[in-house]
Structure 1
């Protein structure tokens, strides 16, 4: 009798186990599965989850939208999407399938088996494997090759959406011209490419990061140029000390910015939102939402591009014409409308006695009409600027080891601001007529 009861109990347990197995198989992949192999696929409701349960990949429908997308989000905060595959080709129905093509590409198929997105791998893979890493990077490689970064056939980190995660690059491959850039969502409910991009502007060996409105290519914010130590217009971001390490790469192959997180319990992301503001979020992994906003770019009115117009300087939200200049439209300035900028009070004409006024701790003007000589001293730069009747101002291009290199501005000076604190900004020398030279300072 006792033996029969045991047999009945075992049979019941077996039926329960089988029932659970069927349910799990029907619903989809195990929540701990981070790898998808050949002949496997993911449908709506199924997900990949990174091994340490940080990131999750699957299909989502944002906000009030009726469209579906393949994306990656934080496991603890599903509403915080950090990457979207089919931004340009949403699925109108919840029937998308992520699988592999015959040549090993990762492909997203719609209800009619049409390809709406593909990884477009550079080589044919015989046994493709895709894995969601704890970094949030979705990587594709051949099963019988190494899984090191160099062996990845494709990775999502090379194709950012609106978010920069630790280990992702933002910049430019100088050999191929390939760009790593952020593109904002169209709206809170629409992850299609929006109105703003965050990219590296590189020309003549000079570079800076900019937030640009796609329609009309108008700038909303710029970091200021790299001066060998930092971007001249960016003070340090107030993030936990020694927790985040910024890494800037500048060589013959690439110019790029990335960051690493030194404390494993912290998560950091930089997101370009749909209104064109780059936001820095830091949170502890134990929390349930990515809501700790640490910094924004632009962070104040002086950070807004060309806030004060030409030949003017912004300080503490107020605009002032540079000495030797006056408002081009005084009536507009009286009502705090500064876009018309400033013009010279007394034109310069390369006459004897002209010189320069020094302004310290300034965000140098935009790189619109400049010349660069990396081997010229500051003294020689001054002499060359005086010889050139079009030269409006000059500064060192590199501040390391006492300063070197010569930057000369040959047109209006755009988007300048003065910082209150030491070690922010740089020294700029602005040309004045002989009668206007004298004591005047913006940064005591």
Structure 2
């Protein structure tokens, strides 16, 4: 049997031993044996050639080879085998069909594929590593299921930097409701992206991307991926052993990975931080607040910055009397614990449907494209709402409240606006007085020196008039600050 030497492919009459590698034709990716961190165990994996420190895929992550005598070969019917020194099978591929002339090849995308010599199109792949991701996602790799098979593609973190066996965290598409991307720790949600809003997953960071997102959501298909605009740019998305999802870009000049972003980004990204019916605003202190119309279930716990118990309605709703909706702008929509979805309704129809259903607690558009469409309704507590600043992530939700609660909120907001406007006007008047005082002192000083000056932007008569008006208890809204208010 022949051994491969710096080739990109193996045929049934060849094999690859520890110390040899397959290299993609563009010299970007490499397949071979490695030992992670401080471990002496050997694994078959893929990495970027000449770039240390990042393994992109591992074949035998559950069963390491304990010596340096591993052998990779492909059978005549198209099954890939990894043997140890004793010829025991450590790992093998699960081919979808048998091939008469199979070949295993490392592609320029970083995808290891088994195909037939007579056809190299993606549709003819017998097996591919992209269908069995480990902790890293590359461009062209899809997460999800239903691609004419029963596979569920998702990321699983390493146990540690020294051990690539499956760790505690997974990153996958959660399809309970509208599809969203979720980091799980075991069965518990740690982070969720928010639902697909027609353009993107609203809770993921926005950056200038060299990739085009692909999202398919049908009855028999659900997957998410991205294709590169420019294949010369290499990025990876990795779920690390601590549950942090990190996006890196390869710096071709320094030949090292540069971190672009990571999620969770901040405390507000932690799932359900503010408890039921709470909202997280990262730029406020404290960052957790109850939604308008709600109060803490345990004031004592909230004062200790323990928000897990969440909030309860101040006044009950559910066809109790006159009711309406409060618009909460620019948020990540709540999680889907108990919901209803209709993709054909508009927002007005959605409001009417929610209002006549006594159990409906809130509603929103499911899609933000084209001015908004679709109807989402929630029937229980609202979990994991956070406020966003960037426009592309913003969605609005309408929360059901009693009419008296809505009036109270309206009156409170009106008073706040009045106070802010008056405060700004008073500050404006004080600035005018200060400017006048400075001018008088400066003028007298100049006259003593025999100098005559005029201010370029103001004349003394204008300032005197403004000062006189202010002194008779008129507060001026000048400089674009707003209307004039009479202070009594």
TM-score if structure 2 supplies the norm length? 0.79
SS of match in other structure, 2:77: coil
Q: 2 CA distance for matches of 1:399 and 1:125?
A: 47
- Map 1:51-130 onto structure 2 (within 5 A): 51-130=25-104
Structure 1 position 388 matched with structure 2 position 388: no
Flag the structure with larger Rg.
2
Aligned length: 408
In the other structure, the counterpart of 2:254 is 287
For residue 126 of structure 1, report the CA deviation from its aligned partner.
2.4
SS of match in other structure, 2:246: strand
In the other structure, the counterpart of 1:30 is 5
Give the alignment partner of residue 184 of structure 1, picking from 157, 161, 174.
157
- Cα RMSD (Å): 2.1
Q: 1 CA distance for matches of 2:252 and 2:291?
A: 48
In the other structure, the counterpart of 1:40 is 14
In the other structure, the counterpart of 1:22 is none
In the other structure, the counterpart of 2:224 is 257
**CA 1:257–1:377: 2 relative to 1, 3 Å:** same
SS of match in other structure, 2:195: coil
In the other structure, the counterpart of 2:198 is 228
In the other structure, the counterpart of 1:342 is 311
- Map 1:304-315 onto structure 2 (within 5 A): 304-315=270-281
Q: Which has the higher helix share?
A: 2
Give the alignment partner of residue 299 of structure 1, picking from 256, 259, 265.
265
Please tell me whether the aligned partners of residues 33 and 43 of structure 2 are also in contact (alpha carbons under 8 angstroms). Answer: yes
Q: Which moved more, 1:324-333 or 1:217-226?
A: 324-333
Give the alignment partner of residue 113 of structure 2, picking from 125, 136, 139.
139
Q: Which moved more, 1:391-400 or 1:319-328?
A: 391-400
Please tell me whether the aligned partners of residues 361 and 423 of structure 1 are also in contact (alpha carbons under 8 angstroms). Answer: no
Give the alignment partner of residue 400 of structure 2, picking from 431, 434, 437.
431
SS of match in other structure, 2:376: strand
Q: Which blocks of at least 5 consecutive residues in structure 2 are unaligned?
A: 418-488
For residue 178 of structure 1, report the CA deviation from its aligned partner.
2.3
For residue 340 of structure 1, report the CA deviation from its aligned partner.
1.3
**CA 1:174–1:283: 2 relative to 1, 3 Å:** closer
In the other structure, the counterpart of 2:457 is none
Q: 2 CA distance for matches of 1:129 and 1:349?
A: 64
Give the alignment partner of residue 197 of structure 1, picking from 148, 152, 170.
170
**CA 1:302–1:312: 2 relative to 1, 3 Å:** same
Q: 2 CA distance for matches of 1:29 and 1:423?
A: 50
**CA 1:304–1:251: 2 relative to 1, 3 Å:** same
**CA 1:68–1:93: 2 relative to 1, 3 Å:** same
Please tell me whether the aligned partners of residues 78 and 126 of structure 2 are also in contact (alpha carbons under 8 angstroms). Answer: no
Please tell me whether the aligned partners of residues 239 and 294 of structure 1 are also in contact (alpha carbons under 8 angstroms). Answer: no
Q: 2 CA distance for matches of 1:349 and 1:256?
A: 38
Please tell me whether the aligned partners of residues 364 and 425 of structure 1 are also in contact (alpha carbons under 8 angstroms). Answer: no
Q: Deviations over 1:228-274 (max 9, x none)?
A: 222232342x245xx33333233455222222333344211111111
For residue 362 of structure 1, report the CA deviation from its aligned partner.
1.0
Q: 2 CA distance for matches of 1:104 and 1:401?
A: 48
Please tell me whether the aligned partners of residues 156 and 166 of structure 2 are also in contact (alpha carbons under 8 angstroms). Answer: yes
For residue 119 of structure 1, report the CA deviation from its aligned partner.
1.1
Q: Which blocks of at least 5 consecutive residues in structure 1 are unaligned?
A: 1-24
Q: 2 CA distance for matches of 1:174 and 1:131?
A: 22
Q: 2 CA distance for matches of 1:58 and 1:78?
A: 13
TM-score if structure 1 supplies the norm length? 0.87
For residue 435 of structure 1, report the CA deviation from its aligned partner.
1.7
Q: 2 CA distance for matches of 1:359 and 1:44?
A: 59
SS of match in other structure, 1:224: strand
Q: 1 CA distance for matches of 2:5 and 2:342?
A: 60
SS of match in other structure, 2:47: strand
Please tell me whether the aligned partners of residues 16 and 73 of structure 2 are also in contact (alpha carbons under 8 angstroms). Answer: yes
Please tell me whether the aligned partners of residues 362 and 377 of structure 2 are also in contact (alpha carbons under 8 angstroms). Answer: yes
Give the alignment partner of residue 329 of structure 1, picking from 288, 291, 298.
298
Structure with more contact order per residue of length (Cα contacts < 8 Å, sep ≥ 6) = 1
Please tell me whether the aligned partners of residues 278 and 298 of structure 1 are also in contact (alpha carbons under 8 angstroms). Answer: yes
SS of match in other structure, 2:194: coil
